[in-house]
Structure 1
Amino acid sequence: MQRFFVETYQIEEENHCIHVTGADVNHIKNVLRMKQGEELWISDGGTKEYRCEIEGLGDEEVLLHIIYAQEPNYELPNRIYLFQGLPKADKMELIIQKAVELGAYAIVPVETKRCVVKLDEKKAAKKTARWQQIAESAAKQSKRMLIPKIHEVMSFQDALKLAEELDIRLIPYELAKGMKETKKILNQIRPGQSVGIFIGPEGGFEENEVSQALEKGAQAITLGRRILRTETAGLAILSVLMFQLEND
């Protein structure tokens, strides 16, 4: 069943109706060609979702009748931030799509010293808008209760500053201690804690960048004996955390 996101002001629970506006109107009417009486899911971007029936289809609005509401708890108990070094080509699109599916709360594109891709302000804004659309589509497909935020491209220093607000900071590094130590670090993560994961671009982080991250409180972990591509590394640790943190 199709899923869409609305703001809370669009929901009138007392009247059992939801007003869908904006680009979703065209998507419902002209792309999906949905008709009056068909059902869909609406998420309020928080903890509640609504099963609805299409009551009216207008040019500017789709009116929905609320059949019932529920709080399904699809989200992880931790807010996970993926700090992703800018990769080449369209790899970022794949990373965002899969990170959203795996439960990431936010994704931060980071420009590091070994990044091949360099974006000026105009290109970065255009890319961010595109990436946010991909995050929204992935959130709808994977039954997320919220749309993960794609932050603007930022420098490694700014990323470290943002990460200072988080409870846990992890940086996979080939010189980190063995898997036993990594398991110990991951097992110490508690429900409710915010977690930041730093992933380098092709070629990884420079040693100086790793040192800076460690000085700011990040913990080095290993992802095993094999060398993972940048588009694989973040998804690997997200998968481990999803398995570990799911509370059902």
Structure 2
Amino acid sequence: MQHFFVTPSQVEGERIYIEGSDVNHMKNVLRMRPGEAVAISDGDNLKYRCVVEGYEEGRAVLAIQQRMPVDTELPCRIILFQGLPKQDKMELIVQKAVELGASQVVPVATRRSVVKLDEKKAAKKLQRWQQIAESAAKQAGRGYIPQVSSVLSYQEALEKAGELDVLLIPYELAEGMEEARKVVASIAQGQSVGIFIGPEGGFEKEEVDAAIRQGAKAITLGRRILRTETAGLAILSILMFRLEG
């Protein structure tokens, strides 16, 4: 079943009105006809099962058949602070992080980040990453579209992370799997969690020390060295399994 997002203002009584580019996608790409089923999320903890009723000037009209609370969100708000990787790896990271339940992805310029984005390139990349987040949210049946923030410096990222309850920084020099298990097991439903992942080459020790001073726990993800595009998804998978239900 196709899945679309609306705002609560687009829900009027027993009808939902789809607007913007989604109308063309429904009508001319997917060729959805009256009577076809559609899943809708309103970004405000409600999802709907609808059928296409028809098309008006510039919008699609859906008839609501069923209202349900959203049950696809994790009980913790998880923000992935991702060191900027090379090439198009960020696209994969955003896609999979959204599928695994991340509430936000924050690209971070660290000391070992090879990629340097000027303002124009950063805006274009951000637009692309947000489109990928929306597509992944639709595919995963998320209740809302997670945000991909603008690129932050490492210090800006630490300041933002200071608002969260739990900070984790997987680090290849961290030791003690038992301690890592205890840290993950201590995370409670309702807490906010930040995960810091380094770029290719990892974090410099000074960056790890700065995160620890901010309250982060340095943990190991095992004896194997994981690529930057793997490490964040590994810890997100662990947290999803730990917190789900």
Measure, in 2, the Cα distance between the counterparts of 1:21 and 1:174.
47
Whether contact under 8 Å (2:8, 2:44) holds in the other structure is no
**What is the match of residue 10 of structure 2?**
10
Residue equivalent to 2:243: 245
Q: Which residue of 1 aligns with 2:48?
A: 50
Q: Paired residue for 1:105?
A: 103
The alignment's TM-score, normalised by the length of structure 2, stands at 0.99
- Amino acid of the residue matched to residue 3 of structure 1? H
Query: What is the SS of the residue equivalent to 2:224?
Result: coil
Task: Please report the TM-score for the alignment, with normalisation by the length of structure 1.
Answer: 0.97
User: Superposition pairs for residues 209-220 of structure 1, below 5 Å?
Assistant: 209-220=207-218
Of 165, 168, 181 in structure 1, the residue corresponding to residue 166 of structure 2 is 168
How far did residue 58 of structure 1 move? 2.9
Distance 1:46 1:227 in 2: 39
Q: List runs of 5+ in structure 2 lacking aligned partners.
A: none
Task: Return the letter of the residue paired with 1:170.
Answer: L
Per-residue CA shift, 1:137-196, capped at 9, x if unaligned? 000001111111100011000000000000000000122131000001011100000000
**Are residue 114 (structure 1) and residue 144 (structure 2) matched?**
no
2:123 counterpart residue number: 125
Structure 1 residue runs without a partner (length 5+): none
Partner amino acid, structure 1, of 2:209: S
Tell me which residue corresponds to 2:154: 156
In the TM superposition, residue 59 of structure 1 has moved relative to its aligned partner by: 4.0
5 Å-filtered alignment, 1:20-35, equals 20-35=18-33
Following the alignment from structure 1 to structure 2, what is the Cα–Cα distance between the partners of residues 98 and 35? Answer: 31
Task: Please state whether the residue corresponding to 2:31 is helix, strand or coil.
Answer: coil
- Deviation at residue 41 of structure 1 after TM alignment: 0.5
CA distance in 2, matches of 1:217, 1:232: 24
Conserved 8 A contact 1:57-1:63? yes
Runs of 4+ in 1 over 3 A off after TM superposition: none
Does the CA-based 8 Å contact 1:25-1:59 persist in structure 2? no
Q: Which one of 65, 71, 93 corresponds to residue 67 of structure 1?
A: 65
- Distance in 1 between residues matched to 2:154 and 2:29, nearest whole Å: 40
Question: Is contact 1:199-1:233 (8 Å) kept?
Answer: yes
**Structure 2 match to 1:93:** 91
Give the aligned residue type for 1:240: I
Identity %: 64
Alignment partners' CA distance in 1, 2:126 and 2:5: 19
**What is the SS of the residue equivalent to 2:16?**
strand
Amino acid at match of 2:41: S
3-state SS, counterpart of residue 96 of structure 1: helix
Q: State the AA in 1 paired with 2:135.
A: S
The answer to whether the Cα contact below 8 Å between 1:5 and 1:44 also exists between their aligned partners in 2 is yes
1:224 is paired with a residue of what secondary structure?
coil
**How far, CA to CA, are the matches of 1:37 and 1:237 in structure 2?**
42
Which amino acid is the alignment partner of residue 92 of structure 1?
A: M
DSSP-derived class of the 1:42 partner: strand
**SS of equivalent to 2:105:** strand
Kindly tell me the number of residue pairs found equivalent between the two proteins.
245
Aligned partner of residue 238 in structure 1, secondary structure: helix
CA distance in 1, matches of 2:30, 2:55: 13
